[in-house]
Amino acid sequence: MKSLISHVVYMGIPLLQVLLLLGGCGSKHYVEVNRKISNDLDFAAARTVVLDVSVDNTPFVERDITIHSSRILKKGMLQPDRKIIEHALSEALNFDEKSVLTMEQYRWMESSLASIRPPSGYRSPKIDALVRLKVSFGIQSGRYEQQKVYRFFRKATRCQYLKNPPKDYKPCREVEDRAWDEIHTEQNALGRVDLWYAGEIFLNRNDEFQLHRSIEGAVVLNTAYEDERAISRKVAAGLGNIVSNELGIVNLKVRLQIDEGNHSDSIRLLKQGSLEQARRMLEQDIDSNWFASSTDFYNLGLIYHTYGELKIASKYYERAIKAGGYKRIYIDALNNLEVLDAESTLE
């Protein structure tokens, strides 16, 4: 299977990522649309977001546990790298072309503007949302030895042979199963992180910050057995995805099949990933011909579907069905419009 990844550009604006799958099942060809969906539309609408993050010192302990003893190899407090956490959170929240700044970056920018502009012409940059978050986690790691019991079974056969055996006499018979246990010693090395976070999201409404929602979560993460600083860095780098799930941001993939019903040049362009060229050709075709096929209408709907123009896509899908093309892929495409509706989709 071959694949082609492209960023669709419509009217000069990059909209979303499209993955064109060439091949697939038999001779079928698909366009796969990747989009981000958010259930928190008010936060999604914020253009400039400031992060105010505080991180507690991290307690850690490293143990060596055997069957007969347990000893602590190392313990103490660790200062996590707040900048790694802020970077991970900024990346996770930087969807829909947001500007995400840390509180330190915002204050630096504000002070820089104040120093280069006269007081009469100075205006603080507007903040649409403020995210205050407190993060805390603990690390436990070490080498662990344990005993595991394995049970084995064995069958035995006993035979007794007679000189003149009676009819149907069977000289051998099975003895009841005999079982025994074997105890094996197993060793492993691992780490565990208990992560907790809590905070509030404030939205700027009429130059007044109002509490929008509170967020809180806890999770236990299993890690490799390694240096506690390495574990801390990995947790910090992965924190963004955990918090973004709390905000209801998910990646959706919709797979749309190209209709190859009339083998036109526009279908060849669609297979190559040239969506805009195919759109122009199809629209010219349906405008100039007194008869347009359901295939043309459907493929036009597919193109506008990938552009995020869902109302136009719906119109073409319906025209494809009315033109006598009641196909399963047409109905599925209409159902997918409900998944990627215009109000809840982040371009």
Can you give the pLDDT at residue 263? 65
pLDDT at 153: 76
- Do residues 197 and 268 both lie within one domain? no
| 33 and 54 within one domain | no
**CA separation for the pair 126, 46 (Å, rounded):** 11
Of 96 and 145, more confident: 145
The yes-or-no verdict on residue 200 having pLDDT over 90 is yes
Where is pLDDT greater, at 148 or 17?
Answer: 148
Ranking 25-34, 71-80, 231-240 by mean pLDDT, the lowest is 25-34
Q: Is residue 70 part of a domain?
A: yes
**187, pLDDT greater than 70:** yes
d(CA 204, CA 76): 41
The token duo for 17 is: 């990522």
pLDDT grade for 192, boundaries at 50, 70 and 90: very high
Domain boundary, last residue among 204, 221, 247: 247
pLDDT digits (tens, 9 = 90+) for 89-108: 988 888 767 889 999 988 88
Predicted confidence band of residue 306 (pLDDT cuts 50, 70, 90): confident
In a domain, 222, yes or no: yes
Higher-pLDDT residue of 307 and 199 is: 199
Residue tagged 């209709």 (tokens) = 259
CATH number for 6: 1.25.40
Residues 100 and 228 in one domain: yes
Give the pLDDT of residue 268. 87
Residue 23 CB contacts under 8 Å (≥ 6 apart), including other chains: 1, 2, 29
Q: Residue 239 maps to which CATH number?
A: 3.40.50
Asked whether the predicted pLDDT for residue 6 surpasses 50, the reply is no
Least reliable range by pLDDT among 21-25, 259-263, 308-312: 21-25
∠ Cα 173 178 182 (to 5°): 155
Greater pLDDT, 153 or 52: 52
pLDDT value of position 191: 93
| Last residue within a domain, chosen from 201, 218, 247 | 247
Q: Is the pLDDT of residue 272 over 70?
A: yes
For residues 29 and 7, membership in a common domain is answered with yes
Q: What is the pLDDT of residue 132?
A: 95
Q: 20 - beta bridge partners?
A: 4, 31
pLDDT, position 236: 92
Same domain (yes/no): 205, 294: no
Residue 202 and residue 63 share a domain: yes
**Residue 148 maps to a domain:** no
Residue 2 sits at the vertex; the CA angle it makes with 32 and 4, to the nearest 5 degrees, is 50
Q: What is the pLDDT of residue 339?
A: 55
129 within some domain: yes
60 shares its domain with 107 = yes
User: Per the domain annotation, does 149 fall within a domain?
Assistant: no
Q: How far apart are CA 341 and CA 320, in angstroms?
A: 20
Handedness of CA 32, 98, 14, 300 (dihedral sign): positive
- The domain boundary residue, chosen from 247, 272, 296: 247
Is the pLDDT confidence value at 342 over 80?
A: no
Q: Indicate if 112 and 223 belong to the same structural domain.
A: yes
Confidence band, pLDDT 50/70/90 cuts, at residue 170: confident
Residue 168 is assigned to a structural domain of this protein: no
Number of structural domains in the chain: 2
What does residue 339 show for φ and ψ, rounded to 5 degrees? Answer: -70, -40
Residue among 94, 60, 58 nearest 74 (CA): 60
Whether residue 24 sits in one domain with residue 53:
no
Give the torsion through C-alpha atoms of 89, 90, 92, 93, to 10 deg: 110
Average pLDDT, the chain: 81
Same domain flag for 65 and 15: no
Question: How many other C-beta atoms lie within 10 A of the C-beta of residue 63?
Answer: 15
Q: Does any domain span residue 163?
A: no
Q: In whole angstroms, give the CA distance from residue 102 to residue 87.
A: 9
Residue 64 placed within a domain:
yes
Same domain, 117 and 207: yes
Mean pLDDT comparison of 102-111, 199-208, 330-339, highest-scoring range: 199-208
Same domain (yes/no): 35, 46: no
The 10s digit of each residue's pLDDT in 109-136 is: 877 766 666 555 556 668 999 999 999 9
Domain limits for position 228:
42-143+187-247
- Per-residue pLDDT reduced to its tens digit, 15-40: 344 555 544 445 688 887 766 666 67
